[in-house]
């Protein structure tokens, strides 16, 4: 069986709050022809248009100095299989695993493509959460970038 490894490439991340149009070269992995997953971290003194570990759509751009590169221009969360699964089964119960090692059983209340997150009611977890809900009717929110896996509970 042949192992496949996704190769890193460089895409250009738009910076926000700079006063002029600016981009930073960041590491990413190609998912489809025009969708890439950002695998870099934001330096402390910058603000990026798209979050680290999110999926973004890229297009070819010629920059001011005449260089050409792939510019991230919009989120592409719809390419994430976890997004597709949770969106299709909103209001149902899932067993999820987060990047920090937390395993939880949740009821998905809402899936939001624009903000790349989902709102859920926590039914059980393997960790003691640092924050407690102030009200029993409050819900949690998590980014798809923090989700390792999701399985529909039947």
How confident is residue 50, by pLDDT bands cut at 50, 70 and 90? confident
Shared-domain flag, residues 72 and 86: no
State residue 144 phi and psi, 5-degree precision.
Answer: -65, -30
User: What is the span of the domain harbouring residue 66?
Assistant: 8-77
The pLDDT of residue 99 is 84
- Burial tier of 93 (Cβ tally within 10 Å: 0-12, 13-18, 19+): middle
Q: Is residue 49 part of a domain?
A: yes
How confident is residue 2, by pLDDT bands cut at 50, 70 and 90? very low
| DSSP reduced 3-state for 104 | strand
Handedness of CA 21, 25, 26, 31 (dihedral sign): positive
pLDDT average, residue stretch 26-49 = 93
The pLDDT of residue 7 is 86
Q: Which of 24-28, 73-77, 136-140 has the highest mean pLDDT?
A: 24-28
Q: Is residue 3 part of a domain?
A: no
Shared-domain flag, residues 50 and 87: no
The pLDDT of residue 107 is 95
**Domain finish residue from 61, 77, 93:** 77
Shared-domain flag, residues 73 and 88: no
| 81-95 tens-digit pLDDT | 899 999 999 999 999
Q: Is residue 53 part of a domain?
A: yes
Residue 5 has pLDDT above 90, yes or no: no
pLDDT average, residue stretch 28-41 = 93
Least confident range of 43-57, 58-72, 131-145? 131-145
Shared-domain flag, residues 96 and 125: yes
């Amino acid at each position: 069986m042949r192992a496949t490894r996704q190769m890193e490439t460089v895409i250009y991340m738009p910076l926000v709050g700079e006063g002029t149009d600016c981009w930073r070269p960041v590491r990413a992995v190609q998912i489809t022809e025009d969708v890439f997953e950002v695998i870099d971290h934001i330096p402390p003194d910058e603000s990026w248009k798209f979050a680290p570990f999110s999926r973004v759509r890229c297009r070819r751009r010629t920059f001011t100095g005449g260089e050409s590169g792939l510019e991230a221009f919009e989120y592409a969360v719809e390419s994430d299989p976890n997004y597709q699964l949770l969106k299709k089964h909103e209001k149902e119960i899932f067993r999820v695993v987060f990047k920090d090692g937390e395993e939880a059983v949740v009821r998905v209340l809402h899936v939001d493509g624009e903000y790349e997150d989902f709102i859920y009611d926590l039914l059980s977890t393997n960790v003691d959460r640092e924050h407690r809900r102030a009200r029993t009717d409050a819900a949690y929110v998590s980014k798809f970038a923090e989700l390792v896996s999701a399985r529909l509970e039947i």
